[in-house]
Amino acid sequence: MAVVLVLSGFALLIVALVLFVRGRRDAPQGTPLPNGRGIALLTLAGLVLALASQLPFFR
């Protein structure tokens, strides 16, 4: 179960990174990212899933 949490968290972080890089490349200099809130939520969800695998319940 812990491996599934880590892999799904890692996948979410990869998706957030790809969205960030694409958004940064396409956005003009000095403008905010168009999907910045979504990237932040994906990053938070990925970190929560990855850190949840370290709980003693999943060992």
pLDDT tens per residue, range 36-57: 889 999 999 999 988 888 888 7
Q: What is the pLDDT of residue 51?
A: 87
Per-residue buried b or exposed e for 44-56, using 16+ beta carbons within 10 Å of the residue's own CB: ebbeebbebbeee
Q: Show me where the domains of the chain are located.
A: 2-58
The 10s digit of each residue's pLDDT in 17-38 is: 998 888 888 777 878 777 888 9
In sequence order, the 6+-apart residues with CB closer than 8 A to the CB of 8 are 49
Q: pTM of this prediction?
A: 0.81
Q: What is the pLDDT of residue 10?
A: 92
